[in-house]
Amino acid sequence: MRIHLTSVFVDDQEKAARFYTDVLGFSKKHDVPVGGTDRWLTVVSPEDPDGPELLLEPDGHPAVKPYKDALVKDGIPAASFAVEDVPAEFERLRGLGVRFTQEPLESDSVTTAVLDDTCGNLIQIMHEG
């Protein structure tokens, strides 16, 4: 068994597509209309284009907004992405105007930072080792 697809709920798919590709550096894999303004919109790591996909899923279901708001209020990231160098990625992203809720923090052998994805989620970047 392996992870094929996971998702984050976003409040604006177009804004999310720009943030996750232009800012975070993911590559768009699928962008298919599914009715109304919603799309099956996935991104992948350019380092593993056939690897797991991240669905930028519309957050229209009534249960989603309270869930997302509670996670953000408690500082809980909706997803975690691996990077090679958290402090360097923090500086790169901050230079692009990304807002962080947690600056790089080292704990044992893990370094993390948490950013706001502009679409209603907190996202953790991390490196082990």
The structure's pTM equals 0.95
CATH assignment of 5-128, among 1.10.10.10, 3.10.180.10, 3.30.565.10, 3.40.50.300: 3.10.180.10
What pLDDT, in 10s, does the model give residues 40-88? 999 999 999 999 999 999 999 999 999 999 999 999 999 999 999 999 9
Band the pLDDT of 129: cuts 50, 70, 90. confident
Could you give the CA distance from residue 15 to residue 28 in angstroms, rounded to a whole number?
A: 13
Residues 6+ apart with CB under 8 A from 10: 16, 56, 57, 58, 59, 117, 119, 120, 121
- Delimit the domains of the chain by residue range: 5-128
